[in-house]
Amino acid sequence: MKKLFFFSVGLLMALAAGSQDLGYYLPDSVRYNPAIPKPKDIIYHEVGEYHVTHDRLVNYMKALAAAAPDRIRLETMGFTYELRPQVLLIITSPSNHKRLEEIRRQHLLLSDPARSASVNIDQMPVVVWIGHSIHGNEQSGTNASLVSAYYLAAAQGPQVDELLENTVILFDPSFNPDGMQRFSTWVNQHRSKNLVSDPNDREYNEVWPGGRYNHYWFDLNRDWLPAVHVESQHRLQWYHSWKPNLLTDHHEQGSNATFFFQPGVPSRVNPLTPARNQELTASLARFHAAFLDRIGSLYFTRENYDDFYYGKGSTYPDINGAVGILFEQASSRGHLQQTNNGLLSFPFTIRNQFVTTLSTLEGARVLRKELLAWQREFYKTALTEAAASPVKGYIFGKEQDPETLRAFITMLSRHGIEIYSFKNTITSGNSRFDPAYSYIVPTQQPQARLIETIFARTSEYKDSLFYDITAWTMPLAFGLRSAELNAAQLAQASTDRTVTAAGIPVAARPAQPAGYAYLMEWSGLMAPAALYVLVAKGIKAKVATGTFSLDINGRVRSFGYGTILIPVQQDIDKARLFNLVSEAASRYGVEVTAVQQGTAVKGHDLGSSSFVPVTLPSIAMITGTGVSALDAGEVWHLLDQRMNIPATHLEPSQFNRASLDKYNTLIMVGGTYNELNKEKLKAWVQNGGTLILTEEAVSWAAQSGISNVRFKRVKPPVDSLQRLRYADRVEIEGAQRLTGAIFGADADLTHPLAYGYTQPVISLFKSNRVFMEQSRNPYAMPFYYGGRPLQSGWVSRENGDAVKNSAAVIVNTVGNGRVINIADNPNFRAFWLGGTKLFMNAVFFGRITDAASGRTDAE
């Protein structure tokens, strides 16, 4: 490797307090175009002096695009929840810019095995996506983007010309604008003129929920695959319109660490990632090492971090024919912090991120042909491997729930996966797949490997330590039935045409006003949203606690548990009721049937008391210090974004002060609730409140005497008298963490908490060690893990034994109220749509559960 860059003074890590000008960061062997504005000209401070705010960052990027239009084009990918623009700079040579669209089209051919053989890569630029600070409180990346963008706009000479001629750089200065703004505001407002480096200072200790997450408190670096959030959706659109060869993901780690770059732990590379990917990762690592050696920065590789979960930014490219690189810089978490390695200044962290951007670009330039050839090879071998596999496709479907199918197909389409309708009904095992509500994904398509990771169940692992979850089998998460298809089944099904989300049929709704009542199916994903909007308008609705059949226009139709009955006898007139019901049904894709008479052919007549009135939920959720922001954010997102249901976020201190009379539903997710007034909470439940608990909140409530759930003891992995090697402790103890696996719970479909489910086994996601003993009340356990609950993922034998024959959900009656204990997370990362019904049932029907029993759990 040639020595290309020389850096000016500043090899020492500890820096004097105060600002550094651009000279600290930039290679001094390079000439810069004086017409290009420096960051300070636009953002008013030196890079690293303060944390740049998102608006100033965008101003600077716009200024660069305006000053260097022959090198930089600025695009807006979309807007965040808080309406900040997600900008993308396309940076390349003036001559490449002139034929950018042609370059893009040529480049995309590499991922199309049918046409890639004829592509000449000799003169083709390599496409590199440089991505910064997806975690909002890891801002050295985004602040380094000011320097990198200036360098790429202003540097002069043959080196930079050659770089730009051979690369198209997709430059994403901020992966998470909302989190970035929250964090930059925090550290800037606490910055002293004389920088305070004491880690105890307020500057280094953010208040809940901190800047890491997006608006809804989600970790966007887990969202590349599910793509639940607008930030990921906009980014994926651009990602697949270019399909980069290399993507960098600039993060920060603990303040006492140094600098990490991939490769990560070799045994934890996802087995679907071909070995060549890791060879290229290692080739690039030599560039990072050389560049960091030159400035004397400490670094490490092949430890801690891994390439396992494809929902992370540095791993997603690996299953898309590219190479993803994770960078982790020790965080100053503010402007200057004392660490085990001495004083860590913000400018120092920025410089490492800038230098590894330069090493990435130099690596991409040198390895250009290898990276391009690899992308072509990746997609070619994906097809040959798919051809050799006995699995020729996956079929999936769900009756009476087009909206879940639509969400699933939308997710697949975002990744460039083709979905087909088919002609003939297919039976696989006990499952029958009707073309009316099922679809097929054949594996003979370029995204074959991604398809496998989305559909396959996994149970074999080389390692027992994981950085993140161990399984993400998407049909299980979405609560769909699915099966593998062999060649004969695929041929028999006879695939028809490709479908998109827009092509999914909509649910049936009444053409004319009902004379007697409307019946709304509860099985649809969005039925709770439809019910809420109607009940909130004062419309009276009831829920069927039994089954019944009616004659509808001469045809007998049966209706299940949880069917919503809206009688025409209301305080509003028939025409308006029809309009409101039709509007809700079409907006939320829910099936509604108009009924002209109340007599049932079988089961209860519509006037029966087995139809129980639905109460409008008035919801508060405990949020704030101690509460898992991720879990709370999932509830917020579900209620607000998906269901359009408002909920109050109560801080524990506010809970203790406020009158709780106006709430009939309280939600508590995983967390510690030391400050919460237990007696007040208990009294509220006894007075008739519905308390919904998930994960560790279940244990907290039991310990606080609010519920009477009992827990299973987990057998320790080693005998207490056994002597073990000190060096093995991380491995042995780490294996007992339950980082995330999928378990199937047997559902009692007659229980109000299971209304709307049609399958006897519901997949739930477990990433905790809350194992509930069976309830003493035999009617109070609507979801239960049987003898072989593991469906996909890795779990230690001890934890696996504890899940077996444990309760997944228990309902306690406390006075006039109910405590709904949900051991796991039914809303996991907002793509676990299979758990949505359970959670929404708790919101709407928790209060109607009747725990009458000989063996009562009641006090």
Across 469-490, b (16+ Cβ under 10 Å) vs e yields bbbbbbbbbbbbbbbbbeeebb
Q: Which of residues 774-793 bind Zn ion (CB under 5 A)?
A: none
Q: Which of residues 125-144 bind Zn ion (CB under 5 A)?
A: 135, 138
If the CB atoms of residues 172 and 591 are measured against Zn ion, the closer one turns out to be: 172
Residues whose CB is less than 8 angstroms from the CB of residue 161 and which lie 6 or more positions away in sequence, other chains included: 93
Whole-Å CA distances, 289 to 12, 293, 294, 379: 17, 6, 9, 30
Least separation, in Å, of the C-beta of 212 and Zn ion?
A: 7
333 binds Zn ion (CB under 5 A): no
Q: Which span (63-71, 248-256, 493-501, 630-638) binds Zn ion, by CB under 5 A?
A: 248-256
Least separation, in Å, of the C-beta of 695 and Zn ion?
A: 23
Note if the bond before 209 is cis, omega within 30 degrees. Answer: yes
Least separation, in Å, of the C-beta of 179 and Zn ion?
A: 10
Question: How many residues form the binding site for Zn ion (CB under 5 A)?
Answer: 3
Least separation, in Å, of the C-beta of 186 and Zn ion?
A: 17
CB atoms within 10 A of CB 20: 20
If the CB atoms of residues 179 and 397 are measured against Zn ion, the closer one turns out to be: 179
Q: Which of residues 135-194 bind Zn ion (CB under 5 A)?
A: 135, 138
Least separation, in Å, of the C-beta of 288 and Zn ion?
A: 17
Q: Which two tokens stand for residue 767?
A: 């990433």
Least separation, in Å, of the C-beta of 209 and Zn ion?
A: 15
Q: Which span (40-48, 244-252, 351-359, 586-594) binds Zn ion, by CB under 5 A?
A: 244-252
If the CB atoms of residues 254 and 705 are measured against Zn ion, the closer one turns out to be: 254
Which among 827, 759, 753, 836 is positioned nearest to 396, based on CA atoms?
A: 759
Least separation, in Å, of the C-beta of 138 and Zn ion?
A: 5
**Contact predicate 270/264, CB 8 Å:** no
If the CB atoms of residues 142 and 699 are measured against Zn ion, the closer one turns out to be: 142
Least separation, in Å, of the C-beta of 135 and Zn ion?
A: 4
If the CB atoms of residues 211 and 446 are measured against Zn ion, the closer one turns out to be: 211
Least separation, in Å, of the C-beta of 292 and Zn ion?
A: 19
Least separation, in Å, of the C-beta of 134 and Zn ion?
A: 6
If the CB atoms of residues 243 and 251 are measured against Zn ion, the closer one turns out to be: 251
Residue with tokens 């088919």: 422
The secondary element (H helix, E strand) that includes residue 495 is strand 495-499
Binds Zn ion (CB under 5 A): choice among 251, 268, 376, 414: 251
The CA distance from 182 to 51, in Å, is 11
If the CB atoms of residues 135 and 414 are measured against Zn ion, the closer one turns out to be: 135
If the CB atoms of residues 138 and 631 are measured against Zn ion, the closer one turns out to be: 138
Q: Which of residues 638-677 bind Zn ion (CB under 5 A)?
A: none
If the CB atoms of residues 211 and 689 are measured against Zn ion, the closer one turns out to be: 211
- Could you tell me whether strands 761-766 and 741-747 are parallel, antiparallel, or unpaired per DSSP bridges? antiparallel
If the CB atoms of residues 251 and 365 are measured against Zn ion, the closer one turns out to be: 251
Q: DSSP states of 6-58 as a string?
A: -B-S--SS---SS---GGGTSBTTSEE-TTSPPHHHHHSS-BTTBPPPHHHHH
Residues whose CB is less than 8 angstroms from the CB of residue 567 and which lie 6 or more positions away in sequence, other chains included: 516, 517, 540, 542, 606
Whole-Å CA distances, 854 to 609, 633, 777, 857: 23, 39, 8, 10
Whole-Å CA distances, 643 to 214, 519, 528, 532, 764: 19, 20, 7, 8, 20
Which among 93, 100, 122, 120 is positioned nearest to 109, based on CA atoms?
A: 120
The alpha-helical segments, DSSP class H, found in 298-401 are 346-366, 368-388
Q: Looking at beta carbons, which residue is closest to Zn ion?
A: 251
Chain centroid to Cα 577, Å, comes to 38
Least separation, in Å, of the C-beta of 349 and Zn ion?
A: 13
As a residue count, the chain comes to 859
If the CB atoms of residues 138 and 824 are measured against Zn ion, the closer one turns out to be: 138
Binding site for Zn ion (CB under 5 A): 135, 138, 251
